[in-house]
């Protein structure tokens, strides 16, 4: 899929995805070793996006299986197209040459099968990206069924038989850890841990993803996100919400986050009644804005610069 880590890095950069050397190596290894990546971490931390940008970087298609409670094989693998089978029977069944055995055989082929994302991924001529999104929402039984595709690159379909992969997809499994993913799946995957980004990294994401907003806002928004996440909210804002906030500030023509913006910004950052109440407390929002200014002042600095700053200040005393 990728000839080198350097190539992967350049392509993810072109796809506006901010990554780090370790993540890059894990993705490269997974592609080379044809192993799934299990991406686990909080909502909005870039797990689904990873699959999308890898597809973009590899110039290939993405097949997405969105998991939910009650997801069944039919939705994931596919099912026979009964109306097409009926049509075939009506047209071919009356011809003199058609024997029941041959009709039956014809009807149970992939030609009459509506393929679900798992099967489509295996039937791609060129390796695609298979995103199995939010796998923690499906049952353990369903998870066990995925093992066949993920280790043997094949699927068993009743009445058709075993379908072998034409190409092996790059698989990304994502989980928000609602249910613990079983060990057999973990054993077969390379693990990528996602967390809320550091101020520096979130500034880079904001720079890349909202290039048309005022540049001075990127560091401020990253500092604001950091302050909000340290404010023990019921629902801490994700990167996606900070991108929305950047968009909102652009629409409002705002260049500086200030306490008087509280009521306008609340619907974008407080998504539960309790969080709203907390941010409406006297000084609640003001203290956040104060922290934002502190963080955005320091946040752009590298760890080395910060260390040097501490040393200089120590020398001064
Ligand atoms: N490293 C990154 N580089 C660039 N953009 C990012 C990055 N991480 C996240 N984003 C942005 O954040 C948005 C949300 O990310 P994504 O949908 O992948 O989160 P998620 O972890 O899948 O969340 P959920 O668990 O709620 O599905 C993306 O659409 C993208 O714009
Ligand atoms: Mg997601």
Q: CB under 8 Å to 235, separation ≥6 — which residues?
A: 271, 272, 275
Q: How far is CA 280 from the centre of its chain?
A: 32
Average pLDDT over residues 58-67: 98
Q: Is the CB of 299 under 6 A from ligand 1?
A: no
Of 193, 211, 237, the position where a domain reaches its end is: 193
Does residue 18's CB lie within 6 angstroms of at least one atom of ligand 1? yes
Domain range enclosing 281: 199-316
Residue 170 in this model has a pLDDT that exceeds 60: yes
Residue 201 beta carbon below 6 angstroms from any ligand 1 atom: no
Residue 298 banded pLDDT, cuts 50, 70, 90 = low
Average pLDDT of the residues in 24-51: 96
Q: Tell whether 149 and 184 lie within a shared domain.
A: yes
Residue range 207-235, pLDDT digits in tens:
999 988 888 899 999 999 999 999 889 99
In this structure, are 139 and 285 located in the same domain? no
Report the pLDDT averaged over residues 120-144: 95
Q: Are residues 162 and 311 in the same domain?
A: no
Is 243 touching ligand 1 by the criterion CB < 6 Å? yes
Residues ≥6 apart with Cβ < 8 Å to 109: 160
How many domains, the chain? 2
Cα of 7 from ligand 2 centre, angstroms: 25
Identify the helix (H) or strand (E) that includes residue 78. Answer: strand 78-80
What pLDDT was estimated at residue 69? 92
pLDDT for 304 equals 39
What distance in Å separates the CA atoms of residue 31 and residue 49, rounded to the nearest whole number? 17
Treating both helix axes as pointing N-terminal to C-terminal, what angle do 239-252 and 199-209 enclose, rounded to 10 degrees? 50
Does 184 sit in the ligand 1 pocket, CB within 6 Å? no
Which two structure tokens, joined as six digits, stand for 217? Answer: 């806002």
For residue 305, the CA-to-ligand 1 centroid distance in Å is: 29
- Residue 102 domain flag: no
65 and 166 in a common domain = yes
- pTM higher than the cut 0.85: yes
pLDDT for residue 311: 45
Per-residue pLDDT, averaged over 66-94, amounts to 91
Ligand 2 (ion): residues with CB under 5 Å are 48
Please tell me whether residues 175 and 248 are part of one structural domain. Answer: no
The CATH number for 136's domain is: 3.40.50.300
């Amino acid at each position: 899929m990728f000839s080198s880590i350097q190539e992967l890095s350049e392509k993810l950069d072109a796809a506006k995805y901010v990554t780090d050397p370790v993540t890059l190596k894990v993705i490269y290894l997974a592609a080379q070793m044809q192993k799934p990546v299990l991406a686990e971490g909080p909502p909005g931390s870039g797990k689904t996006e990873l699959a999308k940008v890898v597809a973009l970087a590899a110039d290939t298609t993405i097949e997405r299986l969105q998991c939910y409670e009650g997801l069944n094989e039919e939705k994931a693998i596919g099912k026979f197209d009964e109306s097409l089978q009926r049509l075939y029977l009506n047209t071919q069944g009356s011809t003199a040459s058609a024997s029941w055995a041959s009709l039956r055989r014809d009807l149970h082929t992939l030609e009459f099968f509506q393929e679900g994302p798992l099967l489509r991924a295996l039937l791609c001529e060129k390796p695609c990206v298979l995103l199995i999104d939010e796998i923690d929402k499906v049952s353990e039984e369903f998870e066990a069924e995925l093992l066949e595709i993920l280790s043997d690159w094949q699927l068993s379909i009743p009445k058709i038989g075993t379908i072998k992969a034409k190409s092996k997809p790059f698989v990304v499994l994502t989980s928000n850890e609602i249910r613990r993913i079983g060990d057999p799946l973990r054993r077969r995957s390379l693990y990528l841990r996602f967390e809320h980004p550091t101020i520096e990294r979130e500034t880079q994401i904001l720079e890349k993803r909202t290039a048309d907003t005022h540049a001075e806002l990127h560091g401020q928004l990253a500092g604001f996100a950091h302050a909000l996440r340290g404010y023990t909210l019921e629902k801490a804002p994700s990167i996606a919400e900070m991108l929305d906030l950047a968009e909102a500030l652009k629409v409002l023509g705002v260049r500086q986050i200030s306490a008087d913006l509280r009521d306008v910004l609340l619907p974008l950052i407080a998504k539960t009644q309790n969080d709203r109440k907390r941010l409406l407390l006297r000084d609640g929002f003001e203290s956040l804005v104060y922290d934002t200014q502190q963080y955005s002042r320091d946040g752009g600095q590298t760890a080395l610069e910060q260390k040097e700053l501490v040393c200089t200040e120590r020398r001064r005393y």
